[in-house]
């Protein structure tokens, strides 16, 4: 008989989520507004602790889309984006008829390489196309080198849209990820460190920007008794039912970070003596990762595939790293700057089960597959 599936990262409820959801039902705030939405936003603002303003939205993708709109991106513009990421970082560029310009990763954080970033900006400017925004990503929770990226962004006066979808709970030099961008984005999809079943948020440093995001996300209705519109609107606001789940999840966010970091320690320990495997880890004490997913790189594609299949045969989910966007058929024509760091990572890398809800017994099953594979 097959054993229960071990997931890469599955929803993990804390306990109070249902209480807040019931409140929504009891008070009939079953709508994309209400007390849970307001309170969830306040919880996030307090947690991020940088005098930020948070707008709760229907998804991280919606937040990225609105972020680009608020940064003034239009059809024909170019937007710089980390190549190694989930497609949702780049798709909103295409929604707007703009062109993504992809940037390779660097070896230590796997995130946007600052050197390739500057090379790209110079080259695009020399071609008469100054990029309108830069989208760095904190992959698997590992903070990108935001000091270096910010310095370049400021030098060329290009705003940053920070994709912090995977990095709620991470910090860089003591500052929480999700507060580094001119606009920043969080996701609460089912597989993320906390979930609202599906949802996201935009984080800004001004009330005015937040208000604009909320206005656009609720169909851009002008102030009039009838339906009056002077902007194109979107239906992107978060449901008050989902926000109830979010409020409960905020109570356990720190626990989840702690548990994901413990899962990461488990893998670090295991691979300590195995030279052919590299675990993505914090390059220095400047970096504090929520370790949303623990990821490893083996020394060949064949070995990576063999390990993946060994896990699969035991009903344990693992996943190759994000396939870089510049290698995706849908973005085949987009410009790309860098070398083959992200491509090599993709070929040889694997994400391992990292959920905050993994049991002792599940860790033993994982360890057994690893021990058998590496014949310890
Ligand atoms: C999950 C994710 C998104 C999209 O968030 P959704 O809430 O699923 O729309 C964007 N970028 C990255 C890097 C992600 O991991």
Q: Is 339 tagged catalytic? A: no
Angstrom CA distances, 137 to 174, 221, 253, 272, stand at: 18, 32, 20, 27
What pLDDT, on the 0 to 100 scale, is given for residue 4? 95
**Six-digit token string for 23:** 């409140």
What is the Å distance from ligand 1's center to 97 Cα?
20
What pLDDT, on the 0 to 100 scale, is given for residue 1? 67
Pick the closest to residue 234 from 46, 64, 11, 47 (CA basis).
Answer: 64
Kindly report the pTM of this predicted structure: 0.97
Q: With beta carbons less than 8 A apart as the criterion, state whether 136 and 120 touch.
A: no
Architecture category of domain 17-250 in CATH: 3-Layer(aba) Sandwich (3.40)
Q: Where in the chain is the domain with CATH 3.90.1150.10?
A: 253-374
Low-confidence ranges of the chain (pLDDT < 50): none
Among 1.20.140.10, 3.90.1150.10, 3.40.50.300, 3.90.79.10, what is the CATH number of 253-374?
Answer: 3.90.1150.10
What pLDDT, on the 0 to 100 scale, is given for residue 375? 84
Q: Where in the chain is the domain with CATH 3.40.640.10?
A: 17-250
Helices then strands, counting H and E runs in the chain, come out as 12, 15
Per-residue pLDDT tens for 25-56? 999 999 999 999 999 999 999 999 999 999 99
Which string of DSSP letters, residue by residue, matches 93-156? Answer: HHHTT-EEEEEPBPTTTSSB-HHHHHHHHHHHHHTT---S-EE-B-GGGPPP-HHHHHHHHHHT
What is the Å distance from ligand 1's center to 186 Cα?
8
What is the Å distance from ligand 1's center to 239 Cα?
18
What pLDDT, on the 0 to 100 scale, is given for residue 2? 79
What pLDDT, on the 0 to 100 scale, is given for residue 242? 98
Cβ(252) – ligand 1 distance below 6 Å? no
What pLDDT, on the 0 to 100 scale, is given for residue 317? 98
User: Strands of 78-82's sheet, edge to edge?
Assistant: 134-135, 78-82, 99-103, 336-337
């Amino acid at each position: 008989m097959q054993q229960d599936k071990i997931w890469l990262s599955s929803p993990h409820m804390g306990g109070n989520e249902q209480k807040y959801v019931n409140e929504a039902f009891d008070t009939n705030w079953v709508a994309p507004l209400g007390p849970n939405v307001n309170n969830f936003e306040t919880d996030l603002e307090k947690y991020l602790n940088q005098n930020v303003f948070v707008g709760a939205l229907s998804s991280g993708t919606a937040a990225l889309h609105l972020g680009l709109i608020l940064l003034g991106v239009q059809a024909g513009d170019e937007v710089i984006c980390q190549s190694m990421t989930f497609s949702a970082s780049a798709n909103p560029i295409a929604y707007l008829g703009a062109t993504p310009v992809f940037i390779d990763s660097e070896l230590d954080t796997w995130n946007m390489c600052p050197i390739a970033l500057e090379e790209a900006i110079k080259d695009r400017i020399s071609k008469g196309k100054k990029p309108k925004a830069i989208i760095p990503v904190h992959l698997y929770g590992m903070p990108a080198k935001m000091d270096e990226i910010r310095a370049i962004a400021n030098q060329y006066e290009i705003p940053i849209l920070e994709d912090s979808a995977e990095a709620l709970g991470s910090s860089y030099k003591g500052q929480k990820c999700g507060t580094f961008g001119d606009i920043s984005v969080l996701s609460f999809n089912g597989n993320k460190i906390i979930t609202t079943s599906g949802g996201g948020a935009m984080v800004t440093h001004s009330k005015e920007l937040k208000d604009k995001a909320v206005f656009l996300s609720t169909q851009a209705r002008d102030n009039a008794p009838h339906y009056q519109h002077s902007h194109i609107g979107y239906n992107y606001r978060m449901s008050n039912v989902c926000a109830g789940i979010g409020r409960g999840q905020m109570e356990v966010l720190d626990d989840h970070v702690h548990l994901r970091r413990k899962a990461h320690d488990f893998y670090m320990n295991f691979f300590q003596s195995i030279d052919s495997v590299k675990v993505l880890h914090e390059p220095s004490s400047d970096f504090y990762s929520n370790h949303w997913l623990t990821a490893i790189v083996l020394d060949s594609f064949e070995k990576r595939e063999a390990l993946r299949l060994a896990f699969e045969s035991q009903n344990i989910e693992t996943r190759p790293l994000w396939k870089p966007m510049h290698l995706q058929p849908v973005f085949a024509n987009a410009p790309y700057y860098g070398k083959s760091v992200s491509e090599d990572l993709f070929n040889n890398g694997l994400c391992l089960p990292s959920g905050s809800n993994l049991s002792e017994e599940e860790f033993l099953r994982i360890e057994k597959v690893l021990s058998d594979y590496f014949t310890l």
